[in-house]
Chains A and B, each alone.
Chain A
């Protein structure tokens, strides 16, 4: 069974718009990672969240982890075509060093 649910599965936005991607788990997460994947390439690490309520930002991307450590959101402000790709959340739900990933959100940004 899928332990990390991402929504939406795909997103098409106009350049300049804001957007949010969500990642939800039924278990408490020991570390939550956000990655981006471009077509045909490997995953690029974006951010890591560990504490309940933690929030981190890098350039126009902000990620948050809720207090219960079961839900995270990734917010992109003023999206650009360079933000296009697949965003994946990853976590270790059983604290066993086994990192699993959500199903991904495919983002397209059109001019």
Chain B
């Protein structure tokens, strides 16, 4: 039973380019969370999605960031026109029941903006 799969593991983008981060939840999980972790900082909530719906995006920057979780396929976190401050580790987590059951985390995507 595969865990949460994130790809790519490492992503390098130049300023102004787009970054697309993918997350395949565990089988049977319809709740997906995205978090950002800056160096030496904690894990910051970004967005919570269920299939085809954004439930809570209170942690997402208002511009350049978007997330989706389509009926078929992985959840995507998209960052347009990346800036150096976007460099961070982005983690995805999934669960079968939102925060009522433990979240299972992927190994993250480390985004470096040059």
Contacts and interface: CB of A to CB of B under 8 A. Distances in A.
Interface of A: 30-31, 33, 35, 40-45, 48, 88, 90, 92, 96-104
Contact of B100 (A31, A40, A88, A101): A31
Given A43-B91, A97-B48, A103 B102 contact: no
Contact of B91 (A30, A42, A96): A42
A45 B104 contact: yes
Interface string B4-35: 10000000000000000000000000010101
Contacts, number: 59
Interface string B77-106: 000000000000001010000111111111
Interface string B32-48: 01010000011111001
Q: Which of A35, A44, A92, A99 has most chain B Cβ within 10 Å?
A: A99
Contacts of B31: 97
Interface of B: 4, 31, 33, 35, 41-45, 48, 55-56, 58, 91, 93, 98-108
A106 to B, nearest CB: 9
A11 B15 CA distance: 37
B48 A45 contact: no
A48 to B, nearest CB: 6
3 smallest CB-CB distances across A and B, nearest first, come from A97-B98, A42-B105, A103-B42
A97 B104 contact: no
Contacts of B33: 99
Given A43-B91, A45-B103, A99 B45 contact: yes
A48 B102 contact: yes
Q: Which of A31, A97, A100 has most chain B Cβ within 10 Å?
A: A97
